[in-house]
């Protein structure tokens, strides 16, 4: 869809363009976070619709409509960042489809070992086994929460937020403490945590999962 000329004209002033650049940059951070969630296995599908909508919005900021050199440079940098991300996303999706993506290769090897009847490891500390067995919801397991943490941290960095005090242990503890109340309130079987960007800030959104009927 070609941007409407009237929309381009409406953003002619440098101040308006700079504000729009801030909003577009936040949208890019959100789009990047959603792709990372897809690559980590948290999301089932790539955010193709959001990607298309973002490119349409960025098209409204073409430098030819900006009068200030500062604004033109800002828009150019946004376009360059998107192109860099798109090359990475395209390559990663191709690896997933070819079965050569590292996460998928690891899962395939693990499943092959299980099919071969490889015995369970015996060197795992008893305390770790008990902690894992007592965990009623695998979405709150270390592996899944580690994926949430990495995606959350990446989104905060993309939004230029301070992550110096952010740690996996603290985040995992907080989410596990919040989960029982969320499950009870929504009568859910499990809860997934999704990274979203709201007004330029990365936040975690709880998504209750209803029991299968």
Q: What is the mean pLDDT of residues 153-182?
A: 88
pLDDT at 53: 94
Kindly tell me if the per-residue pLDDT of 51 is higher than 80: yes
Average pLDDT, the chain: 77
Query: CB atoms < 10 A from the CB of 174, how many?
Result: 11
What pLDDT digit, counting tens, does each position of 11-47 carry? 457 778 888 888 888 889 889 888 888 887 778 889 9
Structure tokens at 127: 């305390």
169 closest CA partner among 130, 142, 134: 142
Kindly tell me if the per-residue pLDDT of 173 is higher than 80: yes
Q: How confident is the model at residue 140 (pLDDT cuts 50, 70, 90)?
A: confident
Q: What is the mean pLDDT of residues 156-174?
A: 88
Q: How confident is the model at residue 197 (pLDDT cuts 50, 70, 90)?
A: confident
Q: What is the mean pLDDT of residues 113-118?
A: 54
Question: 153-163 burial, b for 16+ CB within 10 Å, e for fewer?
Answer: bbbbbbbeeee
DSSP string computed for 144-183: HHHHHHHHHHHHHHHTT---TT--HHHHHHHHHHHHHHHH
What pLDDT digit, counting tens, does each position of 82-97 carry? 999 999 899 888 988 8
- Tell me 52's DSSP state: H
pLDDT at 133: 36
Sign of CA dihedral 48, 54, 60, 61: negative
pLDDT at 87: 92
Kindly tell me if the per-residue pLDDT of 2 is higher than 70: no
pLDDT at 135: 42
Q: How confident is the model at residue 123 (pLDDT cuts 50, 70, 90)?
A: very low
Beta-strand runs (E) in 33-109:
none
DSSP string computed for 29-51: HHHHHHHHHHHTTSSSS--HHHH
Q: Which of 4-13, 23-32, 147-156, 161-170 has the lowest mean pLDDT?
A: 4-13
Kindly tell me if the per-residue pLDDT of 122 is higher than 50: no
The residue length of the chain stands at: 213
Sign of CA dihedral 146, 52, 88, 22: negative
């Amino acid at each position: 869809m070609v941007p409407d000329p009237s929309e381009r004209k409406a953003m002619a002033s440098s101040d308006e363009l700079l504000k729009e650049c801030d909003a577009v940059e936040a949208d890019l951070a959100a789009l990047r976070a959603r792709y990372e969630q897809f690559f980590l296995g948290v999301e089932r599908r790539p955010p193709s619709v959001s990607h298309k909508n973002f490119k349409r919005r960025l098209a409204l900021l073409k430098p030819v409509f900006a009068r200030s050199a500062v604004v033109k440079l800002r828009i150019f940098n946004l376009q360059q960042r998107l192109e860099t991300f798109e090359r990475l996303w395209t390559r990663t999706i191709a690896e997933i489809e070819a079965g050569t993506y590292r996460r998928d290769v690891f899962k395939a090897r693990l499943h092959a070992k299980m099919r071969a009847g490889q015995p369970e490891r015996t060197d795992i500390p008893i305390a770790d086994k008990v902690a894992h067995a007592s965990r009623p919801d695998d979405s709150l397991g270390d592996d899944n929460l580690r994926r949430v943490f990495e995606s959350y941290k990446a989104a905060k960095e993309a939004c230029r937020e301070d992550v110096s005090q952010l740690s996996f242990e603290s985040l995992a503890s907080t989410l596990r403490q919040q989960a029982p109340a969320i499950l009870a309130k929504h009568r859910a079987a499990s809860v997934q945590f999704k990274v979203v960007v709201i007004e330029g800030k990365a936040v975690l959104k709880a998504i209750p999962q209803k029991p299968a009927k």
